[in-house]
Homo-oligomer: A and B are copies of this chain.
Amino acid sequence: MVLLEFAMAPHGQGESLGAHVARILDVIDKSGITYQLTPMGTILEGEWDAVMAVVTACFKTLQPDCARIGMNLKVDYRAGPQSRMRSKIDKVEAQLGRRLAT
């Protein structure tokens, strides 16, 4: 399973990028993929082809009216079917023996 975090935004459209972010989140939310929105990006979970298809759909949503688009993305792949969306945090908390801000 792949955990993938990405953030995508046009350049040259002013400081506030909220409307474009909302368009992207609409695509993600309607895709049916497991996801979590954070203050710095969106985390998707699924098989490689499934998460990449969502990222591509987001790009193609912005492309027709954005002359310049920046994106950063990172992937953490681990073989096996288990979700790590919550378990990665649980493990860190278990090792420290206390709850953290999440």
List residues of A whose CB falls within 8 A of some B CB: 3, 5, 7-9, 11-19, 21-22, 25-26, 29, 34-41, 43, 48-49, 52, 56, 59-60, 63, 66-79, 84-86, 88-89, 91-92, 95-96, 98, 100-102
Contact = CB atoms under 8 A, between A and B. Distances in A.
A25 B100 contact: yes
B96 A41 contact: no
A72 B40 CA distance: 12
Given A29-B101, A69-B75, A72-B72, 12 more contacts: A3-B39, A5-B40, A11-B14, A19-B95, A22-B96, A29-B96, A36-B102, A37-B89, A40-B76, A66-B79, A68-B77, A70-B75
B56 A48 contact: yes
A37 B101 contact: yes
A17 to B, nearest CB: 7
Contact of A67 (B11, B15, B21, B88): B15
